[in-house]
Amino acid sequence: MIDSAGATQLPESASQEIELIRQATSGDANAFAGLYDAYVDEVYRFVLHRVGNKQTAEDLTSQVFLKAWDNLGRYTMRGLPFGAWLFRIARNTVIDHYRTHKDVLPLEAEAMTKPDPKANVAKEVERRLEREWLQTVLQHLTEDQREVLTLKFINGLKTGEVAKIMGKRQGAIRALQMRALQALADLLGGENE
């Protein structure tokens, strides 16, 4: 929605989101900016957990929204949030990225960045180690299992939304989630022994 000063407001309800979508599909860039503002953080978080590199995640997130803008005319409302459509674009963008950039190591760029002198070094090291450990553990899961866990627990999506994004039935998503959590429990149990 656009307020009286011409600024874009985030959708506070499904009806406001529907109105923004309607305006955006009619070519209103300000309405699309409202959708962007509403979803950019969630899409970025999803992409970041898939690629493990901040710069690459920022680039891919930009690509997701460019693709969304370019294909907005093909979007149809089917009872799911606009975000489900965006996550499907994000998923495909990440897959395309890995197909074309198989030789890129995600930690190289992070190693080249200068540390923030104001940051608590111990906490930053601990956070990086935890992230690397989590990425290592998740590599033992299948691609679908990793994706289900990322969408459900990192992005907080509902099972129906995850099913729509991944093109699977809700029962299959629940089964993937259960198997992924069981595999993680087995991995973590094995590490503690």
Q: Helices in the chain by DSSP H: which ranges?
A: 14-25, 29-51, 54-70, 82-100, 107-112, 121-138, 143-149, 159-166, 170-192
Residue of higher predicted confidence among 86 and 188: 86
User: Residue 29: pLDDT above 80?
Assistant: yes
Rounded to the nearest integer, the mean pLDDT of the chain is: 78
Enumerate residues 6+ apart whose C-beta is below 8 A from 35. 11, 17, 20, 21, 24, 82
Considering the entire predicted model, what is its pTM? 0.60
Record the tokens describing residue 54, joined without a space. Answer: 């901040």
DSSP label at residue 114:
P
Q: What is the pLDDT of residues 45-97, one digit of tens each?
A: 989 888 888 899 999 999 999 999 988 888 877 766 788 889 889 989 998 89
In b/e form, how buried is each residue of 118-146, taking b as 16+ CB within 10 angstroms? Answer: eeeeeeeeeeeeeeeeeeeebeebeeebb
Q: Which pLDDT value is given to residue 13?
A: 66
Domains, the chain, in order of start with CATH, read 1-113 (1.10.1740.10), 114-193 (1.10.10.10)
Percent of the chain with pLDDT over 90: 16
Q: Give, rounded to a whole angstrom, the gap between the first and last alpha carbons of the chain.
A: 55
